[in-house]
């Protein structure tokens, strides 16, 4: 572990950075990690992401231990943009179900909160966020959950390419609603079970 620098520690996760421009994200809750890595796997061909490895056996040897199994994934180190892109059910309804609303109007409903320096990526982030929301909403709906709202974060790699970053559609970054129980699903373990088991 001597070749790794702690970038963030505390809360739900620890982020370690290596000298070769990689980043290991260690999430304390294995279900949050499981949700995120499953979404990354399922959407790999929809929106560019920074995932290098999901399995500790494919990571540097210092992470190939029981302690890190099911709690770790390896990503390229990104320059995280200081914004969040939030897509709600309302924006989704406009974009995909109401032909009277133009695409531009639907994109303008999406909330991009953050700083000026991310403005040049705003349209691309909105486009990617809509694609992600569309896929995740459809996938969840087939399994009895409605995705009411989701927050997506993005970053740029060394070449300036925009990539999806951070956790995806977990109870910490999204709102899932059980159609059967008529209640919000806020427990990561229950959410993982309903979506992927």
CATH code of 32's domain: 3.30.200.20
Question: pTM (2 decimals)?
Answer: 0.84
The CATH number for 120's domain is 3.30.470.20
pLDDT at 111: 54
Range of the domain at 108: 79-196
Tell me, yes or no, whether 56 and 99 share the same domain: no
Residues 53 and 96 in one domain: no
Same domain, 112 and 191: yes
Sign of CA dihedral 68, 72, 78, 82: negative
Same domain, 135 and 72: no
pLDDT tens digits, one per residue of 155-194: 999 899 999 998 899 999 999 999 999 999 999 999 999 9
- pLDDT single digits (tens) 105-153: 444 545 555 555 567 888 898 889 989 998 999 999 999 999 999 999 9
Nearest residue to 197 via CA among 31, 18, 74: 31
Would you say residue 29 has pLDDT above 80? yes
Question: Which neighbouring-strand residues pair with 178?
Answer: 145, 183
Match 């995909």 to its residue by tokens.
Answer: 96
Helical H segments across the chain, by residue range: 30-42, 89-97, 103-109, 122-141, 188-196
Q: Are residues 41 and 88 in the same domain?
A: no
Domain shared by 62 and 98, yes or no: no
Does residue 90 sit in the same domain as residue 168?
yes
Pair 163, 98 in one domain:
yes
Q: Residue 17 — very low, low, confident or very high, per pLDDT cuts 50/70/90?
A: confident
- Whose tokens are 């806020």? That residue is 186
Strands (E), 127-181: 145-156, 162-165, 174-178
The pLDDT of residue 2 is 74
- Domain boundary among the residues 56, 76, 96 is at 76
- According to DSSP, residue 60 is labeled -
Burial 132-156 (b: 16+ CB within 10 A, else e): bbbbbbebbeeeebebebbbbbbbb
Check whether residue 91 and residue 183 sit in a common domain.
yes
The last residue of a domain, from among 47, 76, 105: 76
Last residue of a domain, one of 76, 99, 130: 76
């Amino acid at each position: 572990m001597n070749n790794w620098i702690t970038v963030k520690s505390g809360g739900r996760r620890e982020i370690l950075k290596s000298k070769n421009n990689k980043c290991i994200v260690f999430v304390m809750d294995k279900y949050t990690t499981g949700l995120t890595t499953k979404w990354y796997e399922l959407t790999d061909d929809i929106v560019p992401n920074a995932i290098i490895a999901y399995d500790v056996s494919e990571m540097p040897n210092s992470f190939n231990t029981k302690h890190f199994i099911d709690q770790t994934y390896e990503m390229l180190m990104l320059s995280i943009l200081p914004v969040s892109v939030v897509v709600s059910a309302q924006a989704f309804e406009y974009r995909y179900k109401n032909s009277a609303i133009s695409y531009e109007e639907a994109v303008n409903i999406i909330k991009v909160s953050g700083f000026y320096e991310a403005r040049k990526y705003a349209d691309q982030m909105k486009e990617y966020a809509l694609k992600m929301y569309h896929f995740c909403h459809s996938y969840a709906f087939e399994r009895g959950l409605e995705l009411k709202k989701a927050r997506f974060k993005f970053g740029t790699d060394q070449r300036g390419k925009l990539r999806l970053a951070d956790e995806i559609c977990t109870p910490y970054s999204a709102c899932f609603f059980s159609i059967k129980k008529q209640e919000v699903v806020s427990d990561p373990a229950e959410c993982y079970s309903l979506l992927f088991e």
